[in-house]
Amino acid sequence: MPINYLRGFTAPERTDVTNRRLGRSLAFVAGAANAGGFLAVGQYTSHMSGIVSSLADNAVLGEAGLFVSGLSSLFSFLVGAAASAILINWGRRRNLRSIYATPLAIEAILLLCFGLLGSNLEHHRVLFVPATVCVLCFVMGLQNAMITKISRSEIRTTHVTGLVTDVGIELGKMLYWNSPSIAGEGAVRADKQKLALLGSLLLSFIAGGVAGAVGFKYLGFIASVPLAIVLLTLAVVPLVDDVRGVRC
């Protein structure tokens, strides 16, 4: 049934199947928001490694404005992750069905505002660009913390460094030649199920990046509206369940 299928994305009851289905969807959204956001404001916002490195560079070079901008981005991502944890724990203590849906709904609303208001605010770039970067970093922190908690740290969706590393590890295991058994040592075996998950997350992020770049190139800021609709679709059923008082 479609309603039950949608409910499974963010319902409190979790399985490996629903976690992976949600992870792939969010990796696509993150890739699209990251690539589209770069075309909008000239900065990637889904991963903090580059931002932290730029903080060090700009501190040494004496670029105070860029240093403050990077610090604001880092702080926004951190606040987004903290907000996600607060929302999830608040919902869990109240036995809500929407404990995981609420962060996604907030992410959707922020992306919707970005898409609908971005083109009207673009001429105020001095204020618009820093604010947009902070909003997108907040959104990425919010999303990454949610999927991290929901999957017990198995899945992350907003950056691919860890994904590529883990894919390389599993490929290394797969290619390893097991010589005759050594006493006390088992054969090296790749976790093919994990490799399939990591590969699908990586491909989803790439596909989202292509879609986000193409969408923003030809449609502008409005290209983020479909991303908001996707997130609302994933979140809406548990939210409605809470409004109706459903405790199934």
Render pLDDT for 115-169 as a digit per residue (tens, 0 to 9): 877 766 666 666 677 888 889 999 999 999 999 889 888 888 887 888 899 999 9
pLDDT value, residue 36: 87
pLDDT value, residue 127: 66
Residue 196 — pLDDT band, cuts 50, 70, 90?
A: very high
Q: In this structure, what token pair is assigned to residue 206?
A: 């790439």
C-alpha distances (whole Å) from 78 to each of 48, 57, 204 are 10, 21, 24
pLDDT value, residue 28: 96
- Give residue 3's identity as a one-letter amino acid code: I
Q: Which residues fall within 8 angstroms of residue 51, CB to CB, at 6 or more apart?
A: 70, 73, 74, 77, 137
Percent of the chain whose pLDDT exceeds 70:
93
Using CA atoms, how far apart are residues 234 and 22, in angstroms rounded to an integer?
Answer: 8
pLDDT digits over 62-102, tens only?
A: 999 889 989 999 999 999 999 999 999 999 999 999 999 99
Domain ranges of the chain: 2-244
pTM (2 decimals)? 0.90
Using CA atoms, how far apart are residues 11 and 124, in angstroms rounded to an integer?
Answer: 40
The pLDDT mean for the chain works out to 88
Q: Which CATH number fits domain 2-244: 1.10.260, 1.10.510, 1.20.1250, 1.10.3470?
A: 1.20.1250
* 11 vs 118: which has the higher pLDDT: 11
pLDDT value, residue 182: 66
Checking if the pLDDT of 203 tops 90, the result is yes
pLDDT value, residue 179: 76
